[in-house]
């Protein structure tokens, strides 16, 4: 199970133009896209990702998984509950990614999922026990148990006016 720092992904616009030229993520190259649709960076010890998620919460995380299942994913709820900087357990928003599958996670509500006090909280039941850093402020944080054949790319959905 990866326990390590999280990498920040910059979302690329999904619906400004047709997805031609292989812009949708595939499992051919395990890793993550930092925000350039032409490059996937190989995993090197990261246990998850954090994605800036401005209002209205129009970010999705596309995934493609190869022959090794990615296992469990957890989207950490960043909304503080109570008056002593508590958060819901990491197991609140979770699922699994099977081998040889693709799809997306999200979109996420900024009020619920964006990190509001990342350096002041810990998560019970987290698959990645690495402490959050200040760079997670305003981001959706998603952790994974396995990244061996997992490829990720963040997209932003552009609102369409009637």
Residue 75's contacts (CB-CB under 8 Å, 6 or more residues apart) are 93, 94, 105, 106, 108, 113, 140, 141, 142
**Given phi > 0 = left and psi -120 to 50 = alpha, else beta, which region is 82?**
left
Is the per-residue pLDDT at 20 higher than 70? no
Mean pLDDT of 26-36: 85
Is the per-residue pLDDT at 1 higher than 60? no
pLDDT for the residue numbered 47: 92
Mean pLDDT of the chain: 89
Is the per-residue pLDDT at 160 higher than 80? no
């Amino acid at each position: 199970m990866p326990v390590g720092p999280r990498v920040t992904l910059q979302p690329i616009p999904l619906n400004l133009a047709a997805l031609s030229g292989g812009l949708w993520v595939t499992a051919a190259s395990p890793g993550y896209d930092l925000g350039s649709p032409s490059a996937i960076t190989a995993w090197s010890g990261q246990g998850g990702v954090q994605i800036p998620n401005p209002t209205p919460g129009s970010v999705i995380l596309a995934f493609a998984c190869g022959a090794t299942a990615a296992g469990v994913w957890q989207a950490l709820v960043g909304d503080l509950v109570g008056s002593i900087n508590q958060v819901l357990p990491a197991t609140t928003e979770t699922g699994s990614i099977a081998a040889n599958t693709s799809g997306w996670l999200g979109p996420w509500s900024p009020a619920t999922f964006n990190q509001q006090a990342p350096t002041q909280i810990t998560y019970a039941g987290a698959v990645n026990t690495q402490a959050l850093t200040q760079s997670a402020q305003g981001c959706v944080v998603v952790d994974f148990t396995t990244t061996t054949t997992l490829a990720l790319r963040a997209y932003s959905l552009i609102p369409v006016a009637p």
